[in-house]
Amino acid sequence: MPQPMGILLLLVLSLAAAGLAVLTVVSLRQRRRMRLARVASDLGFRYSREDLFNVPVRYAEFALVTSGHCLLASNVISGHLEGLAVRAFDFQYEVGHGTRRMTRQYGVVVVEMPSPLPRLLMWHNGDFTPIPARQATQTRGPWSFLGNAELADGFIAAGDEWFAHGGCVEIRRHAILLATPAPTGRDALVTSLPNIVHTVKRLLVT
């Protein structure tokens, strides 16, 4: 039978390990926030931990945003590149309920254009596919898509490094949304913002 002092020591060690784990997570999050703030500063953008744009409402038509419940955007970077409004942010939502509830997290970039654009929804098969994307009628390698095939080919050719771990591209009305799953690919889009905007203009501005 364990002695009281042995039980107390185990309890203390368990609490210390839990506290260390919490401190590690907090430290990693803080470092990432500082890194995102530096990226924003280098681009002349603004950084905010909070969602100042009400992302779930502003982009409510996009398949990614309608994929679940308890929607949350954070770590928002916003500004202009090559004359276009650009926003990058962390986005998460939940699917299922109770013991079957799961949280999905993404890094997202939205580029807003001055004129309406051709419809496109493309989803990498390596990622969880929401219901709207399951209606895709065409495929290219690991991608399934609905809409403009020429644009789909253009994004696939340009975005290998962005979507190495899955993700999606969607165009609705005046906006283009690109997303990659966390944690592995979450920052791939943020660090490629100038290239993304250049690609978007090349593909969509005639």
The mean pLDDT value of the chain amounts to 85
Mean pLDDT over 34-40 rounds to: 90
Mean pLDDT over 177-181 rounds to: 93
More confident residue, 12 or 86: 86
Q: What distances in angstroms separate CA 147 from CA 27, 46, 120, 125, 136, one per listed residue?
A: 43, 33, 4, 17, 9
pLDDT tier at 61, thresholds 50, 70, 90: very high
**pLDDT of res. 23:** 46
Nearest to 66 by CA among 146, 153, 128, 131: 131
Inform me whether the pLDDT recorded for 28 exceeds 60: no
Mean pLDDT over 29-57 rounds to: 90
Nearest to 180 by CA among 158, 164, 193: 164
Inform me whether the pLDDT recorded for 162 exceeds 90: no
Kindly report whether the peptide bond that precedes residue 183 is cis, defined as omega within 30 degrees of 0. yes
| CA distance between the termini of the chain | 79
pLDDT in tens, 104-123: 899 999 999 988 889 999 99
Give me the helix-helix angle, 149-158 and 193-204, nearest 10°.
150
pLDDT tier at 75, thresholds 50, 70, 90: very high
**pLDDT of res. 153:** 92
CA distance 66 to 97: 16
Mean pLDDT over 124-139 rounds to: 79
**pLDDT of res. 29:** 60
With tokens 């609490």, the residue in question is 15
**pLDDT of res. 154:** 92
Q: Whole-prediction pTM value?
A: 0.83
CA distance 167 to 64: 10
184 contacts: CB under 8 Å, gap ≥ 6: 165
pLDDT tier at 102, thresholds 50, 70, 90: confident
